[in-house]
Chains A and B, each alone.
Chain A
Amino acid sequence: MNIVFDNDRPIYIQLVEGLQIHIISGMIFPGERLPSVRELALNLKVNPNTMQKALSELEDLGLIYTERTNGKFVTTDKSKIEKLREKYAREKTSKYINDIKELGLSKKDIINLIKEME
């Protein structure tokens, strides 16, 4: 697991995003057991308290769940992961479109450009 941090933004938000990307991309499988908070924190070299906060947030979002004695697991609800994937895809695409538009290209140009790339 690897997340590159940017000190300008709250670390816990970056952790939430980073873990979400890991889940969407399948680097962590649905239903997979997560390492302990300590291990995760050590792995990513962040404060365990911050890690805890991020995991709580993910739990609130329903992306992970806690089994009382066994630890934390990634949700098996594939539709939830799918939804999240779509959300990220939309966000990233709209950001991309905005960037290109700033260069003075139209929507049509963008579509052509993408087709050309393929």
Chain B
Amino acid sequence: MELLECINLEKRYGDKVVLKDINLKIPRGKIIGLLGKNGTGKTTLIKLINDLLTPTKGKVLVNGMEVGVESKKIISYLPERTYLDKSMTVEKVIKYFEDFYDNFDSNKARKLLKKLDLDTNQKLSKMSKGMQEKVQLVLVMSRCADLYILDEPLGGVDPATRDYILDTILTNFNENASVIISTHLISDIEKILDEVIFIDKGKIILTSSTDELREKEKSSIDEIFRRMFKC
């Protein structure tokens, strides 16, 4: 059974079609790049998988089951915004994750946070946005999930942070799990991707293994992407 499957998925707001004819299968053990320009439907697709939007048509299956409590147990999701209660301390948020997620490993989280040289008794509101985002990433990656979905984890971060993020993803990735990373900053991460999904104007226009695509086109994924979506 596929870890994640989207069947004829469609999302519309009134007459405006945001996503259309999305058919997608994601197996286990892969790192997949969901690539597209801003505002092409990447986040919409991710929100549909995470039950933050209801589909207009079609469905999303996780382990063969429709989105719900069971799918939320095995999906660990990093939104593209800060989404924690900012009046909480890091310690408190760790406790919160422990309370609600059976697969959350608080020791792992503490270990990863230590690398950030961070006072865990500090309130989130006292931290920079970048630091908050790193805390979120650590929490999300400290769950032993089957599917990690990271929405724009690299947006506007410095090279050192980017390395920390990629390291964190690679360290915690295992062969039973898959990782979906949405981004428009392709050159930064294409090295770690198994597969890519190109999305444009609400439609999937290409899915391929990254190395096969490089071999075929004799160029980097970033270049292929630029060529395809020349403005």
Contact = CB atoms under 8 A, between A and B. Distances in A.
Interface of A: 5, 7-13, 41-42, 45-50
A41 B193 CA distance: 12
A49 B163 CA distance: 19
Given A8-B220, A45-B167, A50 B194 contact: yes
B170 A41 contact: yes
20 contacts: A7-B187, A7-B190, A7-B222, A8-B214, A8-B219, A10-B211, A10-B212, A10-B215, A11-B191, A11-B211, A45-B170, A45-B192, A46-B191, A47-B170, A47-B194, A48-B170, A48-B173, A49-B29, A49-B30, A50-B194
Contacts of B30: 49
B210 interface: yes
B31 A47 contact: yes
B2 interface: no
B57 interface: no
Nearest to A53: B211
Contacts of A45: 163, 166-167, 170, 191-192
Given A10-B215, A45-B166, A5 B171 contact: no
Contacts of B114: none
Interface residues of B, number: 27
A13 to B, nearest CB: 8
Given A8-B218, A11-B210, A47-B31, A42 B171 contact: yes
Contacts of B31: 47, 49
Contacts of A8: 214, 218-220, 223
B211 A50 contact: yes
Contacts of B190: 7
Given A7-B187, A8-B219, A41-B170, 8 more contacts: A7-B191, A11-B214, A13-B211, A45-B170, A47-B191, A49-B30, A49-B31, A50-B211
A15 B30 CA distance: 18
Contacts of B211: 10-13, 50
A46 B193 CA distance: 8
The 7 closest A-B pairs by CB, nearest first: A7-B220, A10-B211, A47-B192, A10-B214, A8-B220, A8-B219, A10-B215
A47 B193 contact: yes
Contacts of A41: 170
A9 B214 contact: yes
